[in-house]
Structure 1
Amino acid sequence: MTRSTFIGIACGAAAGALWGLSLLAPELIGPFAPLQLASVRFVTYGIIALVLLAPRLKKLLPHLGAAEWWGLLGLSLMGNIVYYSLLSTAVQLCGVAMPSLIVGFIPVTVTVVGALRQDSVVSIRQLVPSMLLSAGGIVCIAWQNFHNASSQNHGSLLLQILGLLMAAAALLSWTGFVVKNANWLKQLDHVSNNDWNLLTGLVTGALALLMLPLAFLLPQHLPTTGWVHFFMIACGMGLLASVVANAFWNSMTRLLPLTMVGQMILFETLFSLFYGFLWEQRFPTLLESCAIILAISGVISCVRAHGPAKHG
């Protein structure tokens, strides 16, 4: 394994550890709606991005044309606003496990897209073992989730299905984000990883400002207590799961090929499961343990497929 590959994997793991918190956050906000969490989180992301970008904005603006701003708009929607609103709703409808397993398919979808590209450093045949191991882990979690659905107190079967559809839409949205973001980072040599992250945050924050009236003015009944707790979680997500995690993700994206980038998303699934176990104060079941082992094996298999002769 080359040094750049090791650093890329470490950045991917750090991003996953922070993003895993965002899957637990909807369970922690009580009576507040997912849209309220998403809007405050992303306004925080935008404010922090503006503060950090302010000293360099004049130098960056000449390098950004209409195409770049439209690209940032698409990334902000796919990777932040639409994705997290769908995912948060899915978590509140059917718990953490189901959205975790659906989002867990992102490594497979991104890896397939990456392997089919002309600039792929490995063939899709070489990645089949890794994708099968990843899919096996996802199937284990799915079986566990559906087996326990009736005892999770997350509503009727109809709500479970609605949550599944929301999570599937989030899967498509984030797959598009990963691929498009990787394309932009490879094109923009003159913009640093972190500046691109902060520019994305700037646009995301502007969009989130439009969400605030929808999130807080339209509901007929707003919670009367828990506001400090809510804002601490939402603002914490803005800092940790957006500003910091996305910076790690962009660094990883520039260090690794797209076929390996997809596998790094498994860290989010693994950490979200770990946080879920801590929250529920229990050990993983046999199926969940198998899922974790298969997911880790999938990452190792993917790294081996991208050996020094192929990458680095």
Structure 2
Amino acid sequence: MVRTVPPSMPVPVAPADPACVAEQVERARDVLAGGGVVALTGAGLSTDSGIPDYRGPGSPRRTPMTYQDFTRSDAARRRYWARSHVGWHRMAAAAPNDGHRALAALGAAGVVDAVITQNVDGLHGQAGSARVVELHGALARVVCLDCRALSPRRRLHERLAVANPGWAERTDVPEADVAPDGDVVIDDTADFTVVPCETCGGVLKPDVVFFGENVPPPRVAECYEMVDGARALLVAGTSCTVFSGRRFVKRAASLGLPVVVVNRGPTRAAEHATVHVDAGCSDTLARLVGHLGAAA
């Protein structure tokens, strides 16, 4: 299914009542206590690691580059790699937060069997979650669009630094201008040099699913299989605005599975939620570990 660029969601969101949140967490605990849980996560889970999200409360409107723009234009690829080269060190330096660690702990306790993540930051694996499907790929890998060879992003970063000496150092970008995929706002990229694939000389692209690009069907099928075999679905840190993730919530609902949503602010998963905890992921998931980890 093609990812599309949706309209931004409303920004003003009133904080949830603490007593109400406590009750929601208790209800979530009761739903998840039986184990057999598959987690679906989004950008809201990584905000406490310093990675901004696209649609959370207070997030500025962002327009990510589409697959069509990237593939049809040398100038677009130059703009993408120039911006991404500057922002990469911030993404590479990000570390798992309490939310990632909590999901890993719930996995170790036998509560969460697997994680489907829409994030491309690799933090679930770093935190220790055993079975993770990266629905939209991983920024730590680069793929050649011609020969399909995969290579580490750190290697490309080194090559771009050699081809563009001093570029990152002379480009001062405020933290507010960093996007969830590590892209940053730089207007003038005309003198940036893009390097080709070392294997065939072809066009390099981050191994992530761009907006307007299809998620690989085998990956989607694997995620459906995981949901089909689950007892419950835990949705954490996603507004489910993009269908590529929301389809698994709809699948769970169609199967009659309970759905626990942990997300601050509005989410399109709410209509299918058995429980909606209107609070941040790190604190809420850590509280669930306290409730469920000892009982498992």
How high is the TM-score relative to the length of structure 2?
0.29
Q: Which one has a larger percent strand, Structure 1 or Structure 2?
A: 2
* Higher normalized helix content (fraction of residues): 1
Q: TM-score, normalised by structure 1?
A: 0.28
Larger RCO (alpha carbons 8 Å, 6+ apart): 1
